[in-house]
Amino acid sequence: MKKLITIAIPTFNRSSLLNNQLAWLAQAIQGFEPECEVLVSDNCSNDDTRKVVHYWQKKIRKYHILL
């Protein structure tokens, strides 16, 4: 299925801010999840960025979050 919108989030060692952003984003696209994809570019972060992304991938399975 073709996606209506792609949201790209570049980040580097800002896992807490990323978590807040993904929480906000989950609410903002509620109801449109199948038409959205979220791309997170972690730029080789060495903090908890991967854990945050994996958390949101499990929590909201309706849309794609790619790392």
Residue 60 or 10, more confident: 10
| pLDDT surpasses 70 at 65 | no
Question: What pTM value is reported for the model?
Answer: 0.81
Q: Are 37 and 67 in contact (CB under 8 A)?
A: no
For the segment 41-62, the average pLDDT, to the nearest whole number, is: 86
Where helices occur in the chain by DSSP H, the ranges are 15-28, 49-59
Q: What does the pLDDT look like over 10-31, one tens digit per residue?
A: 999 999 999 999 999 989 988 8
Within the chain, what is the greatest distance between any pair of CA atoms?
33
| pLDDT surpasses 80 at 62 | no
